Structure 1
Amino acid sequence: MRALKMNGTGNAFLLIDARSTDIGITPERLSAWAKKHEFDQVLKLEPSEHGDARYRIWNRDSGEVGACGNGARCAGWYLCETSNAASARLDTAYGLTDAIRTGDFRMSVDLGEAHTDWRDIPLAREMDTRALDYEIEMDGHRLRRPGAVSMGNPHAVFFIDPLDGLPVETLGPRIEHDPLFPERVNAGFVQVLARDHIRLRVWERGAGLTKACGTGAAAAVVAGVRRDLLERECRVDVDGGRLQIDWKQDNHVWLDGPVELDGEVEL
């Protein structure tokens, strides 16, 4: 079976269309693919009675996860491209979601509702998710009181100034595996440039430091708005480019940005 290599603002994927011919995703297969191909997540499209395709995601470490925003944009683009349509509906772990074409290689996707109750993240104990009673110190950097948001996956968002020089590669895994987060956590590090503009780096659970994280961008903006640091519409600069977040009044968060098709590979 063949897979498409795609990326959404540098977030790298293998996209498998298994709607007509299935392929099992096993830890052994993921390990073998990871040795041959560079990717952050594997995206799989399966038959759906409710949408254009069921959309599933696996990290490089073989763990299946419930949400990936940039992956949803890539999957949506592929479905639009192959059906010559302007939009597609994905059947996801968090419900049906719409992906809308906003350019030849640009997609906007509804990431669903932002959840901020401590049980939804989830956390190991009750806590105010606007600013968690949590801190970590490493190499002279002291990070404290992150916001916590679930976008179908858990995020802890730290506001840092400046972001340059922060040892994300060593801080990230420590935060990811902290006992406060029983399902592990994606760690986001944000520098506020203006009320409608941030810079973001994300350590993704099971994938490591990635060039972009769509749900991480959404969580960062939601956390910033809840702290009265940001507007609901916000530009997000990531290592792979720029994303646009719009946290609408109905609590749904929309993610917009470019996608790229990097070719095909044999699995």
Structure 2
Amino acid sequence: MRLEFTKMHGCGNDYIYLDCLKGMIDNAPELARRLSPRRFSVGSDGLICIAPSQVADATMRMFNADGSESAMCGNGIRCVAQWLYEHKVAGDEMTIETLAGIKHLSRKGEGIWQVEMGAAEFEPALVPVKGLGPDPVINRAIAVDGLPWQVTALSMGNPHCVTVVEDVQSLDLERIGPGFENHPAFPEHVNTEFIQVMGKNHLAMRVWERGSGETLACGTGACASAAAAVMLRLCEPDTDIALDLPGGRLTIRVSEDWQIRMTGPAKTVYTGVVEV
């Protein structure tokens, strides 16, 4: 069978996008596993299906490279918005349904989208975190592969673990990341963000994404990092926070009540057809 697709990325976080507006496909996890390997197939961080919605302009279904489904993808949802805009399904303002709720997006320039991401949740049951007590995990010490790390755990519709480091570029994430992703404190596995304070309201970040490994960017991870930095008083609330990722820059604003707004690019790379 020949499958048409669109390759898109947000700050280098690249996915294969499928037009499922006439009906959701039933083999998305298998396709994510088959099409995501780099050099052996199309190559991507995963697969995103653009499906119909009864309550929004469209629905986003996001599958990691290993076939597991995630509730939300910040870079992915901006690309879905760009796809809907380019195909004249929606205009400068739109809503997109996700497993983490309905998100409102606004076009802020050519290929630039702002997303109302919802609230950061620190309640352990909502992350989820288990075995670390009833209180929110804020700058808490945990052992990962026998080494101590200070972590802050929160949810952006998907689970995140944020840790502050002195030099983010020197980290060997291929060695460190799996220990975080599969840590028993995170029963649904976890996306792990390593952040370095570069200046006032300016962070550098690398991320190990559950199901995909290190990626060039993670939108929900950037939001989680900014929220954790505000919680730790490393950055200020109600102020634009610059997040530098290997694939580019995102701008995050965290309100006093932990509502988060993300602004960043979305780009169509190419369209193609693949035999599946």
TM-score band w.r.t. shorter chain: over 0.9
Q: Secondary structure at the match of 2:127?
A: coil
1:46 aligns with 2:48: no
Task: Give me the CA root mean square deviation.
Answer: 1.6
Equivalent pairs counted in the alignment come to 264
Tell me, yes or no, if the aligned pair for 1:143 and 1:158 is still in contact at 8 Å: no
Match of residue 15 from structure 1: 17
Identity level (%)? 32
1:130 aligns with 2:122: no
| Higher mean C-alpha displacement, 213-222 vs 89-98 | 89-98
Q: Distance in 2 between matches of 1:132 and 1:224?
A: 14
1:228 aligns with 2:233: yes
Q: Deviations over 1:214-234 (max 9, x none)?
A: 000000010111111112320
Q: Using structure 2 for the length normalisation, give the TM-score.
A: 0.91
The 5 A counterparts of 1:1-267 are: 1-34=3-36, 35-83=40-88, 85-125=91-131, 126=133, 127-136=135-144, 143-232=148-237, 233-267=240-274
Q: Distance in 1 between matches of 2:83 and 2:50?
A: 10
Q: Deviations over 1:17-61 (max 9, x none)?
A: 101154223443222212411111211111111100011100000
Shift of 1:143: 4.8
Structure 2: any 5+ residue segments left out of the alignment? none
Shift of 1:164: 2.5
The 1:31–1:106 alpha-carbon spacing in structure 2 relative to 1, beyond 3 Å, is same
The one-letter code matched in structure 2 to 1:87 is E
Structure 1: any 5+ residue segments left out of the alignment? none
Q: Secondary structure at the match of 2:205?
A: strand
Q: Distance in 2 between matches of 1:159 and 1:143?
A: 12
Q: Distance in 2 between matches of 1:251 and 1:163?
A: 25
Q: Secondary structure at the match of 1:220?
A: helix
